[in-house]
Structure 1
Amino acid sequence: MFSTESAQNHDQKLNEEKPAWSTQDVPNHAFVLLETRKFGFEERPMPTLQSPRDVLIRVIATGLCGSDIHYWHHGRIGKYVVDNPIILGHESAGIVEACGPDVKSLAVGDRVALEPGVGCNTCEACRSGRYNLCGSMRFAATPPYDGTLATYYILPEECCFVLPPHISFQEGALVEPLAVAVHCCRLAGDMQGKSVIVFGAGPIGLLGCAVARASGAATVVVVDIVQSRLDFATRFGATATYLMSSQLAEVNADIMLAQTRLSEGADVIIEATGAEPCINCGIHALKRGGTFVQAGLGTPVVSFPVAQICDKEATFKGSFRYGPGDYKFAVELLRSGRISVKELVTHEFSFVEAEQAFINVLERRGIKSIIYGPSVDKKLVNETAML
C-alpha cells in the first residue's frame, strides 16, 4: 500500500478537482446476492486505493450478463460457488473519482469503460500476453470477488479505458461484451472475405456478427430459435439468418447451407449459445479446414461429433473473456462508428429496481438491460455523456 502522505495529497487534489456533477461523500451502496439467493441492499465501506496505480471509479451504468443471472438462479458456475454474500455485475462504465500517485493516463472526471478482471502480472500466462488465463485472476462478480453493482469500484489504471466524448455510459457498459466478441473473432483469424456462421442472437452473438462484418467477413449468417431475434440480427449486420428447428443437427446444417449458398460450409463458426444441438450443427456446417470458436457456456459436458473435427482437420478453439488489445479495439470500433451498440439496450433500470432487472433478463425480455448506479439521474447521465 502506498504512503499515507501520498494518499492524503491525492484526497486533497480530489476534493479540489471534483466536477460539478459529482457528489461528494456519496455512501457506497451495494446490491448484494446473499447465500440464500435472495437480493438485498447494503451500505459497504468506502473502498480505498491499495496501489499507487489504482483508480477509484464511481459506477454509472452496468449491463447484466448471463453469468450474473446464472449465479443468482443456480448459485454457481462450475467451480465458482456463491457461498458468501457477493455483489454481482461486471459490464460497467463510470467516472474517475480518484487516482493513485503513479497513474499517468487518467484524471479525475474522466469517463471510462471498466475492464473488470485483474491478473497477477507475474505468472506464465500473464507474462506471455494471455492474462485472461491467469490462475490468480481477480474477476468482478466471480466468487469470492465482488462486482460493480455498487456506488464505487477500484481497478488499476490499465483496466480503465477513456470513452470518446460521443459515447454514452450505456454504450461504455457494453464495451465489455463487445470485447468478448472481439476476442472470439480474433481467435478465428483473418476474416477478410470469409464466410461466418454465428450461433445465438443474444448480445454476444449479435456483437460477434457485428465484429465479423467490421473485420471484413463477406457473409455472416446468424442462427437462433427465436424469429424476433433473427429479425434484429438482420438489422444489426447479418447477411442472412436461419431459424433453427428441432431436426437433427446435420439436417439443420444441410438446410442452412443450402439456403445461404455455402455449399462447402462456412470458413468460421462462432458458437455463442453453449447448446449441444447448436454445437453439433456448427461442426457439421463447418468447411473443411475451417475454424470453430466456442464462446457460449451451457451444460458443462456435451456430446459432439469429434470425428467431424478430425475428418475436416478443423481447428476447434475455446474462447475465454478477452486479452491484450481487445478492450482498446472495442473502444475504437465504437469511436469510429464501425460498430454501434446503443440499439442493443432495450431496458433501463434505476439502482432500486435492480432485482426487477434480473427478473427481466431471466424472462428473456429484450436484448440488454442496463442498471444505473446508486443516486444516478438518467438525465444527468445523458448530459455528462456529451462533456
Structure 2
Amino acid sequence: MKAALKTADGKFTVKEVDRPIIPADDFVLARVKVAGICGTDLRHWNKADPALECHIVGHELAGEVVDVGANVVNLKPGDRVVIETVMGDGVCDYCTVQRYNICEHLYDVRTQYVSRAYGEFVCGPEKKFYKLPDHVSFEEAALIDTFSVCLHAHHLAQVGVNDKIAIIGAGPIGLGQLQLAKLSGADVIIVDLVDGALEVARDLGADLVVNSAHADAAARVMEFTGGRGVDICFECAGGPSMPKTLPLATRMARRGGKVVIVGGFDDGEIAIPLEWQRIQMSEIRIIPSASFAFHDIYPEQGMVLELLARGKLNAQKLITHRFPIDRINEAFEVADAKERTGAVFVAVTFP
C-alpha cells in the first residue's frame, strides 16, 4: 500500500509498504479515503523525532471497509466508516470502565493499529468502526475525531444553559468547542490570532470574536461578562502557545469558574508560571481533558456522529484545503502557515 512515512527531519516521504493484515476474527480492514491534520501532527511537523522516524502517523480518518474477520457481524466490505483511533490495551483497570483514553498503553496500542491515518489501509477491532450515513461525506467524517475531543471536554466542563464561555484558539478544536457550547445554550467569546478563523467562528454562532494581536483578550472577556469573568474557559490552542494561553485562561475565569485544558502539551516538564494564590483563593478549577472515550453508557465518538448526521454540528464549514497523499508535505506547510493561508482543517485524500 501507499503510505506517508515520517522522515528523520520530521517531514514525510511517500512509499510503498506492506498492507496490514487482519490479526483477529473481530478485526476490520478499511481503505482510508480522507485523513486530517491536527494540532498534534503539526507539533511534530518539520522536527527531528527519532521515535517517529519511518512510522505511519495520523489519527483523523474515514474510509471504506474492504475485508472483515470471521466474527465481525455489523460491517461488510463496501461499508463507509469513520474509525475511532483512541484504543487502549483493553485489559487494564481504566479500559475495563471505558476510560481507555487514559490507558497507560494507549499510545503503544493505537499506533500499532488504528492511529495510522496516513497509510492507505488501516486495521482495527470492529467496535472502533462506525458506519456512516450516506449523507455524511468522508471529509466531514474525518472531523469526527476532532469533535469527539471537544465533546469529552464539554462533558468534563458540565456546560450549562446561559453559561458564559471563553475559548482560546479558533482551530478545529476551538470551533468544535464553540458549536457544542452554542448547542447547550451558552454565550461564547472566542480568541485567536487569525482573522479568517475568527470569521468562521462568527459564522458558526460566536457571540464575540477577538483577535488578541490587536486587542486585550482578558479585558474583552471582562466587558463580555460585566466584569465577572467567564464560567468556563477552554484552552484549545495548546503546544508552544501554552505558556501564554494557559495563564490567560486563568485570568479570564471568574471566581469559582473552570479552566479546561483541551490543547495538547509536548513531552517532558514544561514550566508555566501561574498566579497560584489567586487561583486558589478564587477556587478556580483547572480540568485537564485527554482525547475521548465514553460518557456514561455512550461512546463519545458515536454521539458526535449522531450530532453530525442530524445537522447539529457543521464540519463542512471547517474544511479549507484538500491535498492528495502524494502532496502531504505541501498540505502540512499550508496547515502550519495558517495565518498566511487561512487554513483551518486540511484534508489529505487517497485515490
Change in 2 beyond 3 A, CA 1:189/1:83: closer
- Measure, in 2, the Cα distance between the counterparts of 1:236 and 1:185: 17
Deviates more, 1:363-372 or 1:28-37: 28-37
Listed one character per residue, the Cα deviations across residues 299-332 of structure 1 (whole Å, up to 9, x for unaligned) are 7331122222211212211111111121011101
The separation in 2 between residues aligned to 1:277 and 1:296, in whole angstroms, is 12
> For residues 311 and 342 of structure 1, do their structure 2 counterparts lie closer, same or farther at Cα, with a shift above 3 Å needed?
same
2:179 equivalent to 1:205: no
Provide the C-alpha distance between the structure 1 equivalents of 2:280 and 2:206, rounded to a whole number of angstroms: 29
Tell me what 2:346 maps to. 369
Segments of 4+ moved more than 6 angstroms = 143-146
Secondary structure of 2:225's partner? coil
Corresponding residue to 2:62 among 90, 93, 102 = 93
SS of the equivalent of 2:2 reads strand
Q: Secondary structure at the match of 2:46?
A: helix
Change (3 A) 1:237 1:46: same
Count of residue pairs the alignment pairs up: 338
Secondary structure of the residue aligned to 2:34 is strand
* Offset, 1:90: 1.3
2:259 pairs with 1:282 = no
Q: Deviations over 1:216-271 (max 9, x none)?
A: 32x01101122332222111121112222488xxx64234311x134321111100
Say which of 321, 332, 335 aligns to 1:358.
332
DSSP-derived class of the 2:222 partner: helix
Q: Is the Cα–Cα contact under 8 Å of residues 188 and 207 in structure 2 kept in the other structure?
A: yes
For residues 151-198 of structure 1, the C-alpha deviation after alignment (integer angstroms, 9 at most, x for no partner) is 100011111111121110000111111111111111101422211110
Task: Choose the corresponding residue for 2:193, options 214, 225, 238.
Answer: 225
- The structure 2 residue matched to 1:48, chosen from 21, 29, 46, is 21
Change (3 A) 1:316 1:238: same
Corresponding residue number in structure 2 for 1:326: 300
Counterpart contact for 1:269–1:292, Cα < 8 Å: yes
Distance 1:201 1:190 in 2: 19
Question: Match for 2:233: what amino acid?
Answer: I
2:43 is aligned with what amino acid? Answer: H
Bigger Cα Rg:
1
| TM-aligned CA deviation for residue 277 of structure 1 | 2.4
| C-alpha distance in 2 between matches for 1:160 and 1:361 | 27
- Residue 269 of structure 1 corresponds to 233
Distance 1:142 1:111, change over 3 A: same
Find the aligned partners of 2:316 and 2:282 in 1 and give their Cα distance.
39
Cα offsets for 1:70-115 (capped at 9, x unmatched):
2232234xxxx53531112211000011111221222221111111
Q: Is the CA contact (8 Å cut-off) linking 1:71 and 1:82 kept in structure 2?
A: no
Matched residue, 1:335? 309
Task: Determine the structure 2 residue equivalent to 1:254.
Answer: 219
The Cα of 1:369 is off from its aligned counterpart by 0.8
Q: Which of 205, 218, 223 is the matching residue for 1:237?
A: 205
Quote the offset at 1:140 in angstroms.
8.2
Check if 1:105 corresponds to 2:74: yes
After superposition, the Cα gap between the structure-2 partners of 1:356 and 1:236, relative to the gap in structure 1 and judged at 3 Å, is: same
CA-CA distance at 1:296 after TM superposition: 1.2
What amino acid sits opposite 2:19 in the alignment? M
How well do the aligned residues superpose, as a CA RMSD in angstroms?
2.1
Note closer, same or farther for the CA distance 1:227–1:233 as it changes in structure 2 (3 Å cut): same
> In 2 relative to 1, CA 133–88 (structure 1 residues): closer, same or farther, beyond 3 Å?
same
The change in CA–CA distance for 1:287 and 1:36 in structure 2 (over 3 A counts) is closer
Distance 1:143 1:295 in 2: 24
Looking at structure 1, the residues matched to 95 and 33 of structure 2 have their Cα atoms a distance apart, in angstroms, of 30
The DSSP-based 3-state class of the residue aligned with 1:74 is coil
The AA in structure 2 aligned to 1:288 is R
Q: Secondary structure at the match of 2:20?
A: coil
* Deviation, structure 1 residue 39: 2.4
Measure, in 1, the Cα distance between the counterparts of 2:106 and 2:246: 28
